[in-house]
Amino acid sequence: MKIDRLPNGSLTRSAKPFKRLAVIGSGAFGTALAQIAAQADTQVSLWSRRAEVATEINKTLRNSAYLPNVQLSPSITAADDLKTVLRDADAALLVVPSKAIRETARALRADIPAGIPIAVCAKGIEAETGMLMSQIVEDELPGHTVGALSGPTFASELAAGHPSAATLAFTFDQADRLDPENSAAARMAVTLATSAFRTYLSDDLVGVEIGGAVKNVIAIACGMMRGAGFAENTRAALITRGLDEMKALAEALGGRRETVTGLSGIGDLTLTCSSTTSRNMSLGLQLGQGLDRKACFDGKPIVVEGEANAKSVADLARKLAVPMPICETVRAILHDGHPIAETFARLWSEPIESEPRAMSLTFEHPAPFATSSIFKEIAT
């Protein structure tokens, strides 16, 4: 074990990276993470549900379906067979859509090496159970240390080598605190660390995952308002108050409000709410412009994580009695058929509240709810 002391007196430790990493999921983000790990001198096996994608990667070192124009590392091998991909792996990244997490984790049971750590890279809350993604994996794969990777990371920019950072969260038990350089979190962090990609550690798994789940819903709200013709004031208000909703839900589940001010919270929220590279922002934008949901993305069946999570997040918040008015607004529009203009007008006419929670003040709003306000312009 190597421990050095920095000029400010703090200690820096040396952790050993994993040698062979299994990446489950060959979409854009899974492929980008495989590329990152390969650049860090890790042997990477990449699983694809589609055999033709695996074949293309092995033959041409490209994934034209999900990450075009990126030349992949020759140390990445792909297969559509889980047994092949998992053979001899000493760690795994689970990078499939949130709705496929339980099914995929269950499929890993037969072949995943005993006890290897798993980092979940999907963001969301399971509709039927209210469980976080890591909790689903723990449920399906007992005996594995499960964490989560989350942060402001567009796949195309990761793969292109743009300087980026994310938070890697694992629960730290006593053994991890006494021997942190051998913890799953530290070893996974150095496995993914390159000159362009930084990972920050957290022991607040709940806080990190809540940030990832809620930010997609807030991004849809920002997109709707931008599509309807509103500008930066509106987006800034939604981001800031959306951050408060994140903090409240994380805290109610045992997470820390502080975590949500980091990369996996406000970092990811800011990115996702600022660019139509985000599918969530893009969906909201198109809906705000008046497109029917079926016509969005030129009618292509694009998976938008925040769409399903608008319901699962709001439902979980209701069970915990946590007010989340922005998420409730998006849920009402996407899942209950409420009109955008009326629903956002109602949001802006909610009672006036104090921003510091300690003040605990609420006043009746003097402007009665009505779509005759500025929001009427959306409807017309």
Residues recognised as catalytic = 215
The encoded tokens of residue 306 equal 């925040």
Letter for the amino acid at 20?
R
197: which strand partners?
164
CA pair distance 159, 30, nearest whole angstrom: 10
Q: How far apart are CA 44 and CA 55, in angstroms?
A: 15
266, 274 contact by CB (below 8 A): no
What kind and span of H or E run contains 194?
none
What whole-number distance in Å separates Cα of residue 40 and Cα of residue 185? 16
CA atoms within 13 A on the CB side of 371: 11
- Beta strands, E only, 17-163: 20-24, 43-47, 76-79, 91-94, 118-120, 146-150
Concatenated DSSP letters of 279-320? HHHHHHHHHHTT--GGGGGGG-----HHHHHHHHHHHHHHHT
Partners of 149 in the β-ladder = 168
Distance CA 311, CA 89 (A): 36
DSSP-assigned letter for residue 229: T
